[in-house]
């Protein structure tokens, strides 16, 4: 019995969510193989081979897999599983936008259900996952021959990126469905820690009033070495780009410290951050629902409290 | 071209759901139900494509209990032309729903199928991708912009690091993200007119689809409650607590 983990990678490096996914695979138990699909991914494959606990790295290096179009990558994954007969009992991918895009397509090709965003492994066939924006936790059992699962990174501690020495094996298969093409991308540039991996996250909401005022949060974040997030209200109002949204439909974070500034605390926002270790809320409305989940609440005008907080650090 | 839109009846997004005492599921008795917010965005996009002259007919489909007719009527009031209810009393998982939708796609032969990116009850984010796999169509998930150009559709997608644009051959599957559009409200005259629009009911058996599942839910629990926090009086006190009590900075 072996587990296939689909690696998330960008700019020639293994993305951190891959390490959390390998950790979930280790909890299930069995040989862990990592698939690196892309174009010019030799360095990624080498990095994947160094991940602790990985026994084999499969590299599918082909122009068809550039940008990981699901029409091409999903048949590759399905073929690897079918080729190996009953060797793979599980296929895991991180619940990133790539993982969520590709894996259900794989599940349907294999004619099995998928279990999305697991937060714990109870046994090799039983998993826990949040439903209803995290307001309920379902324990789900699968009888599928191959269990297809996406992993919520914040549910598992990352394994070490070093210490492994897996064999690297090339996969020749090239699937080019010819149905889709990459046109372009517009990626946000930031020197701050990546939101989903940051130890401290500072988030702003509608209370920030405009995009310019986010400079107060950036200054605070830089002092703390924190990532900066936002509520949907701040994104919809155009204060900051979409990829900063924390919540049910944005990113799920669980940092050591989450500082919510000018965020009321709607159900959909809480879904993305309520597993943070310590939550601080700064809001002038003392009735705001965010105070119900905050460990430390400060009822104050954020435009006075945030600069003061920055000065005291 | 013909556009097929899939919608789902779910608990209203403002409702704070409660887990049943016997841990068999969440309590949906007497709870307000609505169209899934992402499905509203899907309907809106189809209506806009029709207003632009790109779409000629909008067919809206749902899979669920007979009460899901309400959500179909809502979609008809928003501008869909006709509706199909695949009636199933039991709760189906995404693969079964995708198989039923595939049967409807085979029958209706739409050029574009629009779904929401995820339903706010199961939070699965699977059905659109599974339908794309079963149909052999290209998929444009988490769409924030959709432009039909000839026999292709350009879809701008919300990805982790920003935005990505892909060109898909038609027919294709698109799943909507929040930023795609702002759904309109149904006007009273349109709600009245929607009552006269055709609504066809079929069963999974009639579509020849097995809805058997390989997963079962063993139990549903409330999440661990957070211990009550405290209110601090000043920024200085907050910093002191974070340093000495919580030890996180």
Q: If DSSP codes are grouped into helix, strand and coil, which group holds residue A258? A: strand
CA distances for A267 relative to A90, A292, B202, angstroms: 32, 12, 36
Go through B41-65 and write b for each residue having 16 or more CB atoms within 10 A of its CB, e for each that does not. bbbbbbbbbbeeebbeebbbbbbbe
State the burial class of residue A242 (Cβ atoms within 10 Å of its Cβ: 0-12, 13-18, 19+).
Answer: buried
Distance of CA A213 to the CA centre of its chain: 28
pTM for the full model? Answer: 0.96
Q: Do A296 and B232 count as a contact with CB atoms less than 8 A apart?
A: yes
Please report, to the nearest 10 degrees, the dihedral formed by the alpha carbons of residues A184, B118, A272, A281 taken in order.
Answer: 100
Is B102 near chain A, with CB under 8 Å?
A: no
Is A157 near chain B, with CB under 8 Å?
A: no
Q: What is the mean pLDDT of chain B?
A: 96
Per-residue pLDDT at B81:
98
Task: Considering only the beta carbons, identify the residue of B137, B214, B238 that sits closest to A112.
Answer: B214
State the burial class of residue B237 (Cβ atoms within 10 Å of its Cβ: 0-12, 13-18, 19+).
Answer: middle
B133, B163, B172, best to mutate vs chain A, most A CBs in 10 Å: B133
Q: Which residue of A has its CA nearest to B98?
A: A108
- Tens place of pLDDT per residue across chain A (313 aa): 899 999 999 889 999 999 999 999 999 999 999 999 999 999 999 999 999 999 999 999 999 999 999 999 999 999 999 987 778 999 999 999 999 999 999 999 999 999 999 999 999 999 999 999 999 999 999 999 999 999 999 999 999 999 999 999 999 888 999 999 999 999 988 889 999 999 999 999 999 999 999 999 999 999 999 999 999 999 999 999 999 999 999 999 999 999 999 999 999 999 999 999 999 999 999 999 999 999 999 999 999 999 999 999 9
For residue B112, pLDDT over 80 is answered with yes
Is B97 near chain A, with CB under 8 Å?
A: no
Please report, to the nearest 10 degrees, the dihedral formed by the alpha carbons of residues B63, B64, B67, B73 taken in order.
Answer: -10
Q: Which of residues 37-96 of B touch A (CB under 8 A)?
A: 93-95
Tell me which chain A residues have a C-beta less than 8 angstroms from the C-beta of B16.
135, 267
Let me know: does A221 contact A276? Beta carbons within 8 Å: no
Tell me which chain A residues have a C-beta less than 8 angstroms from the C-beta of B123.
116-117, 130-133, 248
Q: Do A131 and B123 count as a contact with CB atoms less than 8 A apart?
A: yes
B92, B115, B129, B143, best to mutate vs chain A, most A CBs in 10 Å: B129
For residue B238, pLDDT over 90 is answered with yes
Q: Do A179 and B169 count as a contact with CB atoms less than 8 A apart?
A: yes
What pLDDT, in 10s, does the model give residues B159-192?
A: 999 999 999 999 999 999 999 999 999 999 999 9
Tell me which chain A residues have a C-beta less than 8 angstroms from the C-beta of B28.
none
For residue B228, pLDDT over 90 is answered with no
For residue B14, pLDDT over 80 is answered with yes
Rounded CA separation B240/B233 (Å): 12
Q: Do A298 and B235 count as a contact with CB atoms less than 8 A apart?
A: yes
Q: Which of the four pLDDT bands, split at 50, 70 and 90, describes residue B243?
A: very high
B119, B139, B160, B172, best to mutate vs chain A, most A CBs in 10 Å: B160
Nearest C-alpha neighbor of B247 from the set A39, A295, A94, A128: A295
Nearest CA-CA distance, residue A241 and chain B, Å: 8
Tell me which chain B residues have a C-beta less than 8 angstroms from the C-beta of A272.
none
Nearest C-alpha neighbor of B116 from the set B173, B58, B53: B173
Q: If DSSP codes are grouped into helix, strand and coil, which group holds residue B52? A: coil
Q: Do B238 and A280 count as a contact with CB atoms less than 8 A apart?
A: yes
What pLDDT, in 10s, does the model give residues A16-72?
A: 999 999 999 999 999 999 999 999 999 999 999 999 999 999 999 999 999 999 999
Is A241 near chain B, with CB under 8 Å?
A: yes
Q: What is the DSSP letter of A167?
A: E
CA distances for A154 relative to A17, A276, B188, angstroms: 9, 9, 46
Rounded CA separation B46/B69 (Å): 19
Q: Do B158 and A140 count as a contact with CB atoms less than 8 A apart?
A: no
Is A39 near chain B, with CB under 8 Å?
A: no
B96: Cβ–Cβ under 8 A, 6 or more apart, which residues?
B204, B209, B210, B211, B212, B213
**In angstroms, how far apart are the furthest CA atoms of chain A?**
63
Nearest CA-CA distance, residue B72 and chain A, Å: 22
B31: how many CB neighbours lie within 10 A of its CB? 13
Tell me which chain B residues have a C-beta less than 8 angstroms from the C-beta of A113.
93-95, 213-215
Is B150 near chain A, with CB under 8 Å?
A: no
Task: Considering only the beta carbons, identify the residue of A182, A249, A256 that sits closest to B178.
Answer: A249
Q: If DSSP codes are grouped into helix, strand and coil, which group holds residue B130? A: helix
Rounded CA separation A276/A220 (Å): 18
A11: Cβ–Cβ under 8 A, 6 or more apart, which residues?
none
Residue A226 corresponds to which tokens in the numbers above?
């924190």
Q: Which of the four pLDDT bands, split at 50, 70 and 90, describes residue B33?
A: very high
ipTM of the complex: 0.96
Tell me which chain B residues have a C-beta less than 8 angstroms from the C-beta of A291.
229, 231
Tell me which chain B residues have a C-beta less than 8 angstroms from the C-beta of A279.
226, 229
For residue B195, pLDDT over 90 is answered with yes
Percentage, residues of chain B above pLDDT 70: 100
* Tokens 């007969």 -> residue: A85
Task: Considering only the beta carbons, identify the residue of A105, A141, A299 that sits closest to B130.
Answer: A105
Per-residue pLDDT at B160:
93
For residue B249, pLDDT over 90 is answered with no
| Contacts A–B by Cβ distance under 8 A | 254
Q: Do B221 and A109 count as a contact with CB atoms less than 8 A apart?
A: no
Per-residue pLDDT at A1:
81
Q: What is the mean pLDDT of chain A?
A: 96
Please report, to the nearest 10 degrees, the dihedral formed by the alpha carbons of residues B80, B86, B87, B90 taken in order.
Answer: -120
């Amino acid at each position: 019995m072996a587990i296939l983990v689909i690696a998330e990678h960008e700019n020639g490096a293994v993305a951190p969510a891959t390490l959390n996914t390998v950790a979930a695979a280790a909890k299930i138990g069995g040989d862990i193989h990592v698939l690196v699909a892309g174009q010019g991914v030799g360095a990624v494959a080498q990095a994947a081979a160094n991940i602790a606990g990985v026994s084999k790295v499969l590299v599918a290096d082909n122009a068809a897999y550039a940008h990981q179009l699901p029409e091409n990558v999903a048949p590759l994954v399905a073929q690897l599983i079918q080729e190996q007969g009953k060797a793979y009992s599980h296929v895991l991918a991180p619940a990133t936008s790539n993982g969520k895009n590709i894996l259900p397509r794989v599940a349907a090709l294999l004619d099995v259900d998928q279990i999305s965003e697991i937060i714990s492994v109870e046994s090799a066939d039983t998993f826990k996952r949040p439903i209803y924006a995290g307001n309920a936790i379902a324990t789900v059992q699968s009888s599928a021959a191959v269990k297809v699962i996406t992993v919520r990174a914040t549910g598992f501690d990352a394994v070490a990126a070093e210490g492994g020495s897996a064999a690297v094996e090339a996969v020749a298969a090239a699937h080019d469905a010819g149905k889709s093409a990459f046109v372009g991308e517009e990626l946000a540039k930031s020197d701050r820690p990546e939101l989903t991996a940051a130890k401290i996250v500072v988030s702003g909401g509608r209370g920030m009033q405009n995009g310019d005022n986010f400079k107060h949060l950036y200054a605070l974040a830089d002092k703390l070495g924190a990532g900066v997030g936002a509520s949907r209200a701040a994104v919809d109002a155009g204060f900051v780009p979409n990829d900063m949204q924390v919540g049910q439909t944005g990113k799920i974070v669980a940092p050591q410290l989450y500082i919510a500034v000018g965020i009321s605390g709607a159900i959909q926002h809480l879904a993305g951050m309520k597993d943070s270790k310590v939550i601080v809320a700064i809001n002038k409305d003392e009735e705001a629902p965010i105070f119900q989940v905050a460990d430390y609440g400060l009822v104050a005008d954020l435009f006075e409290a945030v600069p003061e907080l920055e000065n005291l650090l | 071209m013909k556009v097929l839109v899939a919608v789902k009846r779910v608990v209203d997004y403002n409702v704070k759901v409660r887990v049943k005492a016997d841990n068999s599921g969440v309590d949906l008795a007497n709870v307000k139900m609505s169209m899934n917010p992402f499905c509203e965005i899907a309907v809106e996009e189809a209506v806009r494509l029709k207003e632009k002259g790109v779409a000629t007919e909008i067919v809206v489909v749902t899979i669920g209990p007979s009460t899901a007719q309400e959500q179909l009527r809502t979609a008809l009031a928003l501008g869909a032309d006709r509706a199909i209810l695949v009636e199933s009393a039991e709760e189906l998982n995404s693969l079964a729903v995708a198989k039923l939708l595939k049967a409807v796609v085979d029958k209706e032969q739409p050029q574009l199928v629009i779904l929401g990116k995820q339903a706010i009850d199961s939070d699965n984010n699977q059905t659109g991708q599974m339908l794309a796999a079963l149909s052999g169509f290209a998929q444009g998930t988490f769409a924030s912009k959709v432009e039909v150009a000839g026999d292709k559709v350009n879809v701008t997608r919300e990805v982790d690091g920003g935005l990505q644009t892909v060109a898909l051959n038609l027919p294709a599957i698109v799943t909507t993200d929040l930023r795609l559009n702002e759904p309109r409200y149904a006007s009273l005259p349109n709600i009245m007119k929607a009552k006269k629009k055709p609504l066809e009911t079929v069963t999974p058996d009639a579509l020849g689809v097995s809805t058997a599942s390989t997963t079962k839910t063993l139990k549903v629990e409330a999440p661990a409650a957070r211990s009550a926090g405290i209110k601090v009086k000043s920024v200085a006190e907050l910093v002191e607590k974070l340093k000495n009590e919580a030890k996180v900075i």
